[in-house]
Structure 1
Amino acid sequence: MKKIVYILLVIFIFSCEDKLELSPVSQKNVDNFYKTENQFYQAVMGCYDGLQSAMLKASFSYMMTESRSDNAWQEVDYDDGRISRFTDDADLTVLNSAWAGLYNYIARCNNVIQSLEGNTELEADVKAQFEGEALFMRALFYFELVRFFGEVPLVDKVLSIKEGYAMQKSSIESIYDFIVSDLKRAAELLPDVKPSANPNRATALAARGVLGKVYVFRSGYPLNKNEWGLAGTELKAVLDGVGDEGFFDNYNDIFDYNFEGGEQAIFSIGCKSGAEGEGNPFPTRNAPNGMNPGNDPLMIPYGGSPYQLFLDDYILGSIFDEPNDVRFGYSVQTEWLEKSGDTITNWPFCQKYKNGPVSVSYDWDIDWILLRYTDVYMLYAEAQYYQNEKTEALNILNKVRKRAGLIELQAADIDTEDEFVDMLLRERRKEFCFENQRWFDLVRTDKAMDIMKTFLAQYGAAANFTSRDQYYYPIPQRETDVTGIK
């Protein structure tokens, strides 16, 4: 199977914006730089490279999501440790990395979109594909920004240096409106099905799936826009477009190298081992640093890392709070071999995606699923519940539970809205543990304050979470110093 291998050579186009360190990132005028299909292809691959970094490889992709949630506890006083303990502030290095990185990637998308305007050299379908992909990825980058920081500057074009300094924040609703607009247009422009040669390229179904998810988020905290009908329409279109083949009978197959690019993956980020750092770092990053490298089931090729998500019995017991959940054994490895030769049984780690070729450390040849069928399916259940289709919502949750080996829920288990939300969060936590979704789910349902204070109390840190203002990270101090945005 051929995968996208992101073309890093095009990144020189954006070198000036990195040196300026402005945000929103500014750069020299690139009008008329892109003309041929190959030039645009390289530029779009540069956008995909940014997506791979932002959603998988950059430290903020997990530090600001999973480490913030009750799915991990980082004790040490590094960036993720302070994020876990809610003692982060505007000087935290990872916040600046997220802000600067995401705006850099948005600038790449803006370059493509602006350069396509008035282009007469490309075939219409090729031009539509490139524009749709750039719009789709720009929406994803803004979706991360607005969920990380709340109000942020809205940049929809290539900026001059002066314009970059002058940008101000836009409201959360304005950012979401922009995301919706980009995704709607992307869905109109993109092909309906994955191209067989490059199954990791965006499709109309991927755009509609993300759009449905955005409507779910707009229906929750802080906007509470009650767009469940809109969400349901988009999500159902994706489910119908993919068909039942998207719901794998075996949970572990979702993350199996042999099935990558399949219907369970509405949209995946392509990873390729041995291609100049384009592999998936997730399996190595989550393995303990003291692990003995090797091919034994108790080892990881090339060993682990110091950047793993730290789990303990309290965390795992609260996630997998029902016996016989097959997702526990698929998601967590409880024994491993230390370099000393000892077998360690009290230091569990996430083992999702731990298969497929690997050529060097952090370089696995297995795609990262950014939007999977079960996510769309469960979001659709949520939308249906709020449209008074409670029986269908219950049936969907039970189908997911049955695959996991759990007993079915009864209507009485979710008799009230609070009971439904609590149950939904429990089910999503089990299904998507360590996939960077939990924190965002807690915030959009406005359950983060209560759930996280209980969790933090276990580690003596409950007093650090004092306000819903902490649902969002502070604007990086470096950004405030340069532009005045705060």
Structure 2
Amino acid sequence: MKNILRNTPKLLLAAILVCGSTGCEDFLDLQPKDTRTEDNFFRTEADAREALISVYDVLQWNTVIGFHPTPMLLDIASDDAFAGGGSRTDAPNIIEVDNHNILTTNPEIQGLWKKHFFGISRANLLLSKMEGIEASKASKARIIAEAKFLRAQFYLDLVRFFGNVPLVLEPLVSASEFNQPQATPKAVYDQIAKDLEEAIPDLPEATLAASQGHATKWAAKALLAKAFLFYNGVYGQNLQAGDVTVDANRALQHLQDVINQSGHGLVPNYADIFTPEGEFSVESVWEIAYSDENPWFDWGFIHGGEGNIQPQMQGPRLQDPAAEQYLSGWSFAPATQSLFEAFEANDPRKDATLLTVSELNGGLDRGYQHTGYFSQKYTTSKAYAPSAGQTELNWGNNYRAIRFADVLLMAAELGLTAGGGTPQVWLDMVRDRVDLPTKPATLENIYQERRVELALEGQRYWDLLRRGMNVADQAISTTQRGPLYSGDPVDYNITFNPARNGFFPIPQSELDLSAGVLNQNDGY
């Protein structure tokens, strides 16, 4: 993680954190390879900051079991991308996501589940140790705020993916505590809101560049509004953050604070956002950082490095990379004809979002569900080519998780529903940046703008679900076939299953371990 995880002894710290949360007597009985152990680690401010870095580290993990980059899986689950890959048998677990026919034994889904609980466990352990840390009041308050922000981030993705998940807020230190029941979605979302509301006062009023990638007040406000929009859309209720009710007006006020006070803004040239120079730009309200500064080679422990596997997965299968501006990738998540046609004429975001076959100079090995379109935002651009290590494992493309344009469009949507702010101005700001004429600030126009502005950034699936199962079904269920498609027509037939409410299955391995405590989601 650029500027955050550099020079961190990750393996030792990971062992301390995991064992501190689960009780690993065998590990602790071994001769220590360092002077630090669980018993003497959580004492100084430096210890706490290192533990905090270890929580951030889990954000990067996309290969706990198999390959499960969150934004890519979300695009595949939506109507913006297919599964792709080399062939019909290349990655059947990812194809299950595309077909909305996910088996409960799907390893990638198990990896997704485990990743988020790893992050939650590390955050919980750090929070439980903060009282004994020797540090200034201000330093402790900020570390606690960042840990709560990160716990909220992990839980928001987890509850949106799985719906019915255990809500664990303390370290689990004995086997009798491991089997935690599922909480109601309301309890989880309310805790997310509570963590963020409590974190906001103690997070810095800074841009991500100034905070060196650490969470800021503005990131927490934007994430809370995002959580509200999804929960309110799916469940029709407000969030309750302790004594504070987060309704549409409060969520809108948080977004207006970001718009008017944060110093964030729109990058003038849209395509510049997704370049190395565009990382931690004025537009990035929240960004997950990756790096090639710690060269990595271990295919058996990919997430031990700092690289982002998603660009490698999404890049085209080039026959002659020397003739291209890209290195060869694995052709996952090819974009759909539906997305290609969603852009207006002369919208520069189309070229900045989609890499088309016609732009390639050399030969191309066409993969499964070849559509002729690849992601331009997260791909194997030579501008990001790793300088050392195994090339496939060291891509440093940061993920722009919340952009200022997203904030503007969320504010415009809430402004219409809550009856406040200046929705037309906020929508116009997004369109003005790409020299498109004004459109009335209606909900339909805002939803359409979100699709093209945030395309292939992992946002579309959540936007469809929060608008209702009928909307998701109409968009995702398709037999559409574009002019550049190749392969059997049946490979492009997707059927969304509304009975599952858009949720992924609870991994069967977790159900088995729970001995009946956990229940499977509807439809599986």
Match of 2:70 among 51, 61, 81: 61
Alpha-carbon distance change, 442 to 196 in structure 1, aligned in 2, over 3 angstroms: closer
Alpha-carbon distance change, 397 to 456 in structure 1, aligned in 2, over 3 angstroms: farther
Local SS of the residue matching 1:349: strand
* Contact 2:208–2:285 under 8 Å retained in 1: no
Local SS of the residue matching 1:153: coil
Cα distance between partner residues in 1 of 2:455 and 2:494? 25
* Contact 2:248–2:418 under 8 Å retained in 1: yes
Match of 2:131 among 117, 130, 141: 117
* Contact 2:164–2:185 under 8 Å retained in 1: yes
* Contact 2:335–2:354 under 8 Å retained in 1: no
Q: Where does residue 427 of structure 1 map in the other structure? A: 449
Query: What does 1:108-257 correspond to in 2, within 5 Å?
Result: 108-119=122-133, 121-194=134-207, 199-225=212-238, 227-243=247-263, 246-257=265-276
Q: Where does residue 262 of structure 1 map in the other structure? A: 281
Cα distance between partner residues in 1 of 2:439 and 2:210? 42
Cα distance between partner residues in 2 of 1:325 and 1:196? 29
**Over residues 140-161 of structure 1, what are the superposed CA-to-partner deviations in whole Å (9 max), with x where a residue is unaligned?**
0000011001111000000134
* Contact 1:63–1:80 under 8 Å retained in 2: no
Alpha-carbon distance change, 374 to 58 in structure 1, aligned in 2, over 3 angstroms: farther
Match of 1:37 among 16, 41, 45: 45
Cα distance between partner residues in 1 of 2:473 and 2:209? 46
Alpha-carbon distance change, 158 to 37 in structure 1, aligned in 2, over 3 angstroms: same
Cα distance between partner residues in 2 of 1:279 and 1:272? 5
How many Å apart are 1:462 and its aligned residue? 6.9
Cα distance between partner residues in 2 of 1:317 and 1:2? 33
Q: Letter of the aligned partner of 2:196 in structure 1?
A: L
How many Å apart are 1:70 and its aligned residue? 0.2
Local SS of the residue matching 1:143: helix
Q: Where does residue 5 of structure 2 map in the other structure? A: 5
Q: Does 1:300 align with 2:326?
A: yes
* Contact 1:291–1:299 under 8 Å retained in 2: no
Q: Where does residue 444 of structure 1 map in the other structure? A: 466
TM-score calculated relative to the size of structure 2: 0.80
* Contact 1:449–1:468 under 8 Å retained in 2: no
Alpha-carbon distance change, 38 to 66 in structure 1, aligned in 2, over 3 angstroms: same
How many Å apart are 1:400 and its aligned residue? 1.5
Cα distance between partner residues in 1 of 2:364 and 2:498? 45
Q: Does 1:394 align with 2:414?
A: no
Q: Where does residue 375 of structure 2 map in the other structure? A: 350
Alpha-carbon distance change, 367 to 55 in structure 1, aligned in 2, over 3 angstroms: farther
What is the percent sequence identity of the aligned residues? 28
Q: Where does residue 20 of structure 1 map in the other structure? A: none
Q: Does 1:96 align with 2:122?
A: no
Alpha-carbon distance change, 262 to 63 in structure 1, aligned in 2, over 3 angstroms: closer
**Over residues 2-45 of structure 1, what are the superposed CA-to-partner deviations in whole Å (9 max), with x where a residue is unaligned?**
7222532311224559xxxxxxx844595764112222222111
Match of 2:313 among 269, 285, 289: 285
How many Å apart are 1:319 and its aligned residue? 2.8
Cα distance between partner residues in 2 of 1:160 and 1:28? 9
> What number of residue pairs does the alignment pair up?
460
Cα distance between partner residues in 1 of 2:502 and 2:194? 25
Q: Where does residue 372 of structure 1 map in the other structure? A: 403
Q: Letter of the aligned partner of 1:5 in structure 2?
A: L
**Over residues 199-222 of structure 1, what are the superposed CA-to-partner deviations in whole Å (9 max), with x where a residue is unaligned?**
201111211121122122222112
Cα distance between partner residues in 2 of 1:185 and 1:135? 8
Alpha-carbon distance change, 42 to 86 in structure 1, aligned in 2, over 3 angstroms: same
Cα distance between partner residues in 2 of 1:452 and 1:441? 11
Cα distance between partner residues in 1 of 2:125 and 2:111? 21
* Contact 2:319–2:365 under 8 Å retained in 1: no
Alpha-carbon distance change, 128 to 481 in structure 1, aligned in 2, over 3 angstroms: same
* Contact 2:287–2:401 under 8 Å retained in 1: yes
How many Å apart are 1:379 and its aligned residue? 0.4
Q: Does 1:325 align with 2:347?
A: yes
TM-score calculated relative to the size of structure 1: 0.86
Match of 1:271 among 290, 306, 315: 290
Structure 1: runs of 5+ lacking an equivalent: 18-24, 415-419
Local SS of the residue matching 2:286: strand
Local SS of the residue matching 1:325: coil
How many Å apart are 1:83 and its aligned residue? 1.1
Cα distance between partner residues in 1 of 2:95 and 2:3? 35
**Over residues 249-304 of structure 1, what are the superposed CA-to-partner deviations in whole Å (9 max), with x where a residue is unaligned?**
2111222322322221112222222314313444333112335333x5x3413x21
Match of 2:120 among 79, 90, 106: 106
* Contact 1:27–1:158 under 8 Å retained in 2: no
* Contact 1:5–1:271 under 8 Å retained in 2: no
Local SS of the residue matching 1:369: strand
Q: Letter of the aligned partner of 1:68 in structure 2?
A: A
Q: Where does residue 315 of structure 1 map in the other structure? A: 338
How many Å apart are 1:228 and its aligned residue? 1.2
C-alpha RMSD of the superposition: 3.0
Cα distance between partner residues in 2 of 1:368 and 1:255? 9
* Contact 2:428–2:438 under 8 Å retained in 1: yes
Q: Where does residue 83 of structure 1 map in the other structure? A: 97
Q: Letter of the aligned partner of 2:284 in structure 1?
A: A
Local SS of the residue matching 1:135: helix
Deviates more, 1:328-337 or 1:74-83: 74-83
Cα distance between partner residues in 2 of 1:224 and 1:55? 35
Structure 2: runs of 5+ lacking an equivalent: 26-37, 239-245, 296-304, 482-488, 520-524
Match of 1:336 among 350, 353, 360: 360
* Contact 1:252–1:330 under 8 Å retained in 2: yes
How many Å apart are 1:453 and its aligned residue? 4.9
Local SS of the residue matching 1:152: coil
* Contact 2:62–2:309 under 8 Å retained in 1: no
Q: Does 1:475 align with 2:494?
A: no
